[in-house]
């Protein structure tokens, strides 16, 4: 048990604006990290992972790929520029809970801020635990691996909290895409960003937990989108006669999304296909590859990826807990991008059909713009196939 609790920082001096309750995170292995719950809601449960982002905290909290997870921010100070709905990647928070070393509690004076982060999280019913030794917690996850955890009142007691943590379902085998997808199809018009090329192409988007920034990046390439629920059948999508298929990001175990794997198989080799994150993993599975769970995943804005074809290094934004097995790739599919931290697969290309996918987030919201060209590549692929 971690006994020391870092509650000496300045922002809690102004904590009178917020209800603070003594609380703790209890991991499945029995380790306890105490802190203070902010707001009315104290309880949270899910897989505990850490995020290395120093900014873009609202984008993280609203990313559907974090559904079912409790996110630990490694940056010591979070919330100092407030919250603004314009940067949200979904209508509201998607995480099960959030853990901070120092969540900024006093009023925020920032020209873009519409609301203080603690109030924004409270409105979205997201439990927030502050005053936690997040450095010790992050090191624990790195050494022991990501694991389920329960956040609850400190007075509940360790035994009861541990029993709650042990009952949380494992992320392996869990289909979460069906929980965060859109309920029915909808359309998004193209944005005429390039005056030199005004041709519009129709793209079907499978929503496994789609981020707003990804939609925007596709639309700016003069692509007219029909967004489909994750479980949409290939036959229903084909009736719309799409000229390209895009597979979105999302949470959970890709192998549990058998419906999406079958739908993707129907399109590979027929029209251009591009996948990101969970979409990347599903494309790999649809081709006959395998996936496996990483020890603690990749979550943050600073992951270096080497493009083997161009010999360039991209600094990428990532959020995933599963990966495609490079030793199980079928003939005709090759890994063209690798993570420079651990050598895992970050990109796949199909040698004999117009298809490619990446594990990272090229829309980079938040993050750099190193990989925005992948959206242009997708459009060029569609244009070439329909020339």
Would you kindly state where each structural domain of the chain is located, as residue ranges? 10-166, 177-385
- DSSP-assigned beta bridge partners for residue 21: 37
Residue 115 β-bridge partners? 83
Which of 67, 102, 257, 277 is the catalytic position? 277
Question: Tokens 């609203």 label which residue?
Answer: 62
Q: What is the dihedral of CA 324, 326, 330, 334, to 10 degrees?
A: 100
Query: Is 361 a known active-site residue?
Result: yes
CATH architecture of the domain with range 10-166: 3-Layer(bba) Sandwich (3.50)
pLDDT attached to residue 386: 83
> Rounded to 10 degrees, what is the CA torsion of 45, 50, 54, 57?
-30
Contact (CB, 8 A) for 294 and 323: yes
* Separation CA 377–CA 359 (nearest Å): 16
Active site residue 363: yes
Q: What is the pLDDT of residue 367?
A: 55
In 3D space, the residue among 318, 283, 291 whose CA is nearest the CA of residue 303 turns out to be: 318
Q: Which helix (H) or strand (E) holds 33?
A: strand 32-38
Q: Helix (H, G, I), strand (E, B), or coil: what is residue 113?
A: coil
Tell me which of 3.30.365.10, 3.30.1280.10, 2.102.10.10, 3.40.50.880 is the CATH number of domain 177-385: 3.40.50.880
Report the pLDDT value the prediction gives residue 301, as an integer from 0 to 100. 85
CA–CA dist 384, 387 (Å, integer): 5
Give 155: exposed, middle or buried? Use CB within 10 Å, 0-12, 13-18, 19+: exposed
Q: Walk along the chain (387 residues) and give the pLDDT tens digit of each residue.
A: 433 333 333 344 445 678 899 999 999 999 999 999 998 889 999 999 999 988 899 999 999 999 999 999 999 999 999 999 999 999 999 999 999 999 998 888 888 899 999 999 999 999 999 999 999 999 999 999 999 999 999 999 999 999 999 999 999 999 999 999 999 999 999 987 766 778 999 999 999 999 999 999 999 999 999 999 999 999 999 999 999 999 999 999 999 999 999 999 999 999 999 999 999 999 999 999 999 999 999 998 889 999 999 999 999 999 999 999 999 999 999 999 999 999 999 999 999 999 999 999 998 755 567 788 899 999 999 999 987
Tell me, yes or no, if the two domains 10-166 and 177-385 fold the same way: no
pTM of the model: 0.93
Active site residue 199: no
């Amino acid at each position: 048990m971690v006994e020391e609790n870092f509650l000496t920082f300045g922002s809690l001096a102004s904590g009178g604006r917020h209800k603070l309750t003594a609380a703790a995170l209890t991991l499945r292995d029995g380790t306890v990290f105490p802190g203070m719950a902010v707001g009315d809601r104290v309880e949270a449960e899910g897989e505990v992972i850490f995020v290395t982002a120093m900014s873009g905290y609202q984008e993280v909290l609203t990313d559907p790929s974090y559904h079912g997870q409790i996110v630990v921010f490694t940056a010591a100070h979070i919330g100092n520029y407030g919250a603004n709905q314009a940067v949200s990647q979904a209508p509201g928070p998607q995480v099960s809970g959030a853990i901070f070393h120092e969540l900024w509690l006093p009023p925020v004076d920032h020209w873009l801020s519409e609301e203080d982060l603690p109030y924004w999280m409270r409105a979205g019913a997201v439990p927030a635990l502050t005053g936690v030794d997040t450095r010790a917690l992050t090191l624990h996850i790195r050494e022991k691996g990501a694991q389920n955890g329960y956040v609850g009142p400190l007075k509940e007691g360790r035994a009861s909290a541990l029993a709650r943590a042990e009952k949380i379902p494992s992320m392996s085998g869990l289909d979460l895409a069906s929980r965060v997808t859109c309920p029915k199809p909808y359309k998004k018009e193209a944005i005429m960003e390039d005056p030199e090329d005004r041709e519009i192409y129709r793209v079907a988007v499978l929503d496994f937990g789609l981020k707003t920034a990804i939609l925007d990046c596709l639309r700016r390439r003069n692509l007219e989108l029909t967004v489909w629920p994750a479980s949409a059948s290939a036959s229903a999508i084909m009736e719309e006669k799409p000229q390209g298929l895009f597979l979105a990001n999302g949470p959970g175990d890709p192998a549990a999304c058998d419906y999406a794997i079958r739908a993707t198989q129907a399109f590979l080799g027929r029209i251009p296909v591009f996948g990101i994150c969970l979409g990347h993993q599903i494309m790999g599975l649809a081709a006959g590859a395998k996936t496996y769970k990483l020890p603690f995943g990749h979550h943050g804005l600073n992951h270096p990826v080497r493009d083997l074809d161009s010999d360039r290094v991209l600094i990428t934004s990532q959020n995933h807990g599963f990966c495609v097995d490079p030793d199980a790739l079928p003939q005709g599919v090759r890994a063209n991008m690798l993570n420079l931290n651990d050598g895992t697969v970050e990109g796949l290309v199909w040698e004999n059909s117009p298809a490619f996918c990446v594990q990272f987030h090229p829309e980079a919201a938040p993050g750099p713009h190193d990989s925005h060209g992948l959206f242009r590549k997708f459009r060029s692929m569609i244009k070439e196939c329909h020339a």
